[in-house]
Structure 1
Amino acid sequence: MSPHPPEPFAPTRLGPVTLRNRVIKAATSEGRSPNGLVTDDLIDFHVAFAEGGVGMTTVAYCCVSKESASAPGQIVMSPAALPGLQKLADAVHGAGAAISAQLGHAGVVAPKRLTGVTAVAPSRFVNPTSFAYCREVGRDEINLVTEQFATAAQVAIDAGFDAVELHFGHLYLPSSFLSPLINRRKDGYGGSIDNRSRFVREIAARVREVVGDRIAVTAKVNMDDGMPGGIWVDEALRTVQLLDGDATLDAIELTQGSSVYKPMYLFRGDVPVREFAKVMPAALRPGVRLAGKRAMGSYPYRDLYMLDAARQFVSVVRHTKLILLGGITNLDHVQTGLREGFDFVAIGRALLREPDLVNRMITDPGVRSRCTHNNKCMVTVFGRTHCVLDPAQRYGATAASPVDEPAST
C-alpha cells in the first residue's frame, strides 16, 4: 500500500497522452451502431461520459476485420467508418475527455451466421456455449491478423483517437492463444506460456511500430478465464511480465472471465435468466429458464472483486502502468486502487447507470453509486445497451442513422 497515492482527479500521463484524471470508462457493448457505422446515438452515449468527468472513454469492440466480429452492428475499423469516428472523437474532445478504441478479433466467439466463415482458434475447438466448430488458424493467418490490428490502429490515429486498447482478454482470438485448454499447438505459438504469449506480444509490437508515440497503446489481459484447465493467475503473471519487458504497451487493464464459458464470472451479481429467456427464440426459452443460471454461472457481487488477483501483478511490471477493473463504484474504491499501486481505474456498469458519477465523486466524496448490479443491462446488448433503471436511457431516443449517411425518411 502506497503511503502517498496519486491524486485521482489530477491530470496525468498515459504514454504520449495527457488525461485529466485517472478514471477510464471501460469498454462495454453499446448497440448503437446497427449498420456498423458511428451514429449520433453512439456519439451522445460517449459524450455523456466525457461530460460526466471521465479522463478517457473507450469505444467497445471495434473489429479489426469483417471476419472478426462477435455480434451484429460492431464497427469495423475501415475507411468507411472513418468519417463517423472522426466526428465521435471531436465530440468527446469537445467535452474535455480523451477517447480510445478497443480493437478485437473474436476468434472462437465469431458466429459463422454473422461472418460467413468458420470461426478460428489456436487449435481445433468446439465452443461449449454455441457448440460451433472452430478450425485451427494457420501461420499465415496469424501474420494477417497481426497486420489487421496494426491497420486498425492506424484508422484510430486517422480518426483523431488518443489511444487504442488491444483486446487480449475473454478468450477472443489473442486470449485463446494464452489458454492451455484451447491452445494445443505444437509450433512456436503453443506449448509453454512463453510460446503461447508470442501472438499477443507480436500484435503489441507491430501496433507500437505503426503508431509510434502518436497515441497511447493499452491492452486488456485476462488474469484467469474461469474455465477449468484454462488461463490462471500463475501463467498470466508471466504473460504480463513478457509484455512489460517488451515495453510496447503504455498500460495493461487486468480482467477476468470469458465470452465462452459462464459469462457471469466477469460480471458478478444477479443472473438475469428471465430477461435472457425473453429475448431468445420461443423454442429455447424453457431451456434458458431451466438451465440458464447453471450455464451462465452464479458469482456473488462484492466491491473491488478483481483486486485480490490484480494486486499480484503490481510487483511484476517495471515499464507498464496498470489499470484496475471490477466493482469500482465510489471514491473510496478509486483511492484504494491507487493506494494498491494501480495507476488508473476503469468503471463499466456504474457509469452506465450514472454517466456523471465521476463529477459527483469530485463534488461529493461520499457519494454512492446507484448501480444495483442486477445485470439486466447485459440483456439490452441485444438491442441498445442501457441501464434499465434509468428512464431517460430506457425510454429515450432510439438509435439514429449513421452520421456518415443521410438519414432515411
Structure 2
Amino acid sequence: MNTANDAPSLGQTLMARLDEAATFSRPGPGVTRLFCSEEHRQVLEPIGDWMRQAGLEPSLDASGNLVGRNPRAIAGEKTLILGSHQDTVTEGGKYDGMLGVALPLVALQALKEQDVELPYGVEVVAFGDEEGTRFQSTLIGSRALAGTLDDESLAARDAEGISVAEAIQAFGGEPEAIPDLARRPEQVLGFVEVHIEQGPVLESREHAVGVVTALTGIERQRVSVTGKAGHAGTTPMAGRRDALVGAAEMVVEADRLLQATDNFVGVVGKLEVRPNAVNVIPSEVTFTLELRSPDAETRARGREEILSAFRRLAEARGLEVAIERTYAAEAVACAEWLIEVLEEACDGAGEPAERMFSGAGHDGLAMHDLTDIGMLFVRCRDGLSHHPDEAITAEDAERATRVMMQFLRAMASRV
C-alpha cells in the first residue's frame, strides 16, 4: 500500500502511462500506430481509463477521435479543448502526440484529487490522425472538430486501397455524421496542446518548457516521373529514359535549393520505384516532397523554383513529370492572450520559459480555424523526434505537468 511518501510523482505517473501507450504498436523498432488500426483501437482503452480517473466521460466520436468531457462541458458550458494525436509515424517515438493526450489528464486528475473544481468546461481529445502516415490526407480529427474536413479528404486511400471514410466506418465511426462534430466557436474558450519540442532549442537554453508563438506552414507534393522500362543489360546507356536517375537528380536539386534558402526546409520522405526489379530500367518513380516555412511567400517562391527545376531536369532526360499538391496548411499564430496565460503558468510553477516558434505542424493548424490556439513545448533529448530514440525525462514530465495545473487554474480568471 502506497503512502504519501512513496506514491509515484506526477512525472513518474505520466512516464508510466506513456510507456503503457507505447506497447500498442506494430512489431518493430519504436512505435508504429496508424489511424484506425488495431493498435489505435487497443490504445483507446487505457486512454479512456485515464479520462475517467480525471473526472471526464470518454466517448468515440464520428471521426475516430476519443473525446473526454467534464460535467460542465457535457452541460454545454463554454469549454477549453486540450489534447493531441494518438497516431505516429512509422517507427516513431513514444512521446510525439501521446504526451499531449496523457499530460493534461494527469494534471486534471491531480487537481481533482486536490478538490479543485474548474469553473468552465474541459475536453481532452485524443485525435485519431495528425501525422497522415496511413493516408495522404492529414489532421483528420482536428479538422472534423473545426468543421473543415471535406469529402475529398474522406476519399483519400491508403496503400491497400481503403478510403478514409471506409476505415472510419470499420473503426466504429460514422463518416456521414462528421459534419455534426463541428464545434460552435462561441462555445469554445480555446485550444491548447502540449508537445515535445522536436528540436534542440530548449536543450540549448537549459529550459524544461517553452511557450510557442506560431506554427509553421506546410505543403506536400506528389511527384510522378515516367520514363521507359527496358532490359538493363541490352539497352545502351545513351538514350535511356531512366525514371530513377531523373528522380535522383530532382531529389538532389531540391536539397540544394532548400540548403540555399533561409527559413525554408523540406524533405523527400517517400519514394516508390516501378517495376523495382534488379535487371529492369525503372519506368516510373513516385516520390513525396514536403516543404515548410513560417513565411508563405518564402515557401511559394521556393516551391516554384524547385518544381521548375524538376520540369527542366525531366525534359533534359526525355522524361514526363506530373506534380500534384496533396496537402497545404498556412502558418498560424498562437493567440497572444493564451501565450500570456501560459507564461503566467510557467512563472507560477517556477519554470523559466521563453517564447519560441514551432517548425513542425500540429493539430493547432486545423483548430485555428475554430478558435484561439496556444501551445506548450517540452524539452526532448537531442531535439530528436520521429525516431525510436525520442526521449524526455521524468523530471521534465513533472515540471510540465505542474505548469499545466497552473495554467488550468489561471484560466479561471479568463472565463
TMscore range, shorter length: under 0.3
TM-score normalised over the length of structure 2? 0.26
Greater strand share, structure number: 2
TM-score normalised over the length of structure 1? 0.26
Q: More relative contact order in 1 or in 2 (CA 8 Å, sep 6+)?
A: 2
Larger radius of gyration: 2
